[in-house]
Structure 1
Amino acid sequence: MAMIVFYEKPGCMNNTRQKQLLAQSGHDVVALDIRAQGWSPETLRPFFHGVPVAEWFNRAAPRIKSGAVVPEAMAAAEALAEMCLDPLLIRRPLMESGGRRMAGFDEEAVNAWIGLTPVSEPISETCPRSDGMCSVPGRGN
């Protein structure tokens, strides 16, 4: 099975379920805090290969929900610069394994890439909390 570097926001309920699915499928997951990585445009860009700029963003990020950041109005260079300054803007999780990188958790794409054990219901990629912070109660995230 694969070793996956999984960039997440610790405490995010969806990222927790996604990591569990990967582990249940036999993969080794190394989870890292997406906010603590010191991203640059050069290190971040490969996660979005072939994906339109507007889809690079975490739609639950506070700055997007407030209208301060409008993904559809951004060029790639501007989007990357903003994400490097504010990693909460980045669509999560970012994953890398075997030289390939991916943003978001599209179960079909992940299954085609590394294989997943089927689950009874799909795992959501969007934060269920209205404030977009997606943390586990009592963790203070």
Structure 2
Amino acid sequence: MATVYFYEKPGCINNTRQKKLLAAAGHQVVALNLLTEPWQEDRLRAFFGELAVRDWFNVSAPPLKYGEIDPDKLSEQQALALMLHNPLLIRRPLMQVGDSLMAGFDQQAVDTWIGLKESEAQQDIESCPRSSASASCGHD
């Protein structure tokens, strides 16, 4: 199985669930703090691959939820500058296995990428389950 470098926001409920799924599939998970990682523009950009700029963002981040930032109106450089300034904007998790990188946790994509155990039902473990702006999952 794979060693997955897993950049998360510590305390995020979904990141915890995602790490459990990876471990249950036999992967070794190395959890790293997305918020304190010394990101460089080129390195961060590599995680997003062919994703549209809007898909680089954590939709639960308050500036997106409240319409302060419209990812559809940003260039790649503008988006990266905002994320480097405020890592809470980055879609989580960022994962690395060898030289292969991924942003977000689409279960089907992760299963295709490195394999996951069958689960009874695919569930949304990427969107923040909390509804309040002060929740620890995607905010502050």
Task: Give the TM-score range, shorter chain.
Answer: over 0.9
Q: Which residue of 1 aligns with 2:53?
A: 53
What is the CA distance between 1:31 and its match in structure 2? Answer: 0.5
Provide TM-score, normalisation by structure 2. Answer: 0.92
What is the CA distance between 1:65 and its match in structure 2? Answer: 1.2
SS of aligned partner of 2:35: helix
Q: Which residue of 2 aligns with 1:67?
A: 67
Report the number of matched residues.
Answer: 137
What is the CA distance between 1:135 and its match in structure 2? Answer: 3.0
Gaps of 5+ in 2: none
Amino acid at match of 1:89: L
Amino acid at match of 1:128: P
Q: State the distance in 1 between where 2:123 and 2:7 align.
A: 17
Q: Which residue of 1 aligns with 2:26?
A: 26
Residue 123 and residue 6 in structure 1: after superposition, are their counterparts in 2 closer, same or farther (change >3 A)? farther
Residue 53 and residue 133 in structure 1: after superposition, are their counterparts in 2 closer, same or farther (change >3 A)? farther
1:23-54 superposed Cα distances (whole Å, 9 cap, x missing partner): 00000000011100021211100100111101
1:5-27 superposed Cα distances (whole Å, 9 cap, x missing partner): 00011111111000000000000
Q: Which residue of 1 aligns with 2:102?
A: 102
Amino acid at match of 1:60: S
Amino acid at match of 2:19: K
Residue 32 and residue 2 in structure 1: after superposition, are their counterparts in 2 closer, same or farther (change >3 A)? same
Farther-moved stretch of structure 1 (113-122 vs 91-100) = 113-122
1:94-136 superposed Cα distances (whole Å, 9 cap, x missing partner): 0000210000001111111111101123242100112356537
Farther-moved stretch of structure 1 (119-128 vs 27-36) = 119-128
Q: Which residue of 2 aligns with 1:8?
A: 8
Aligned-residue CA RMSD in angstroms? 1.5
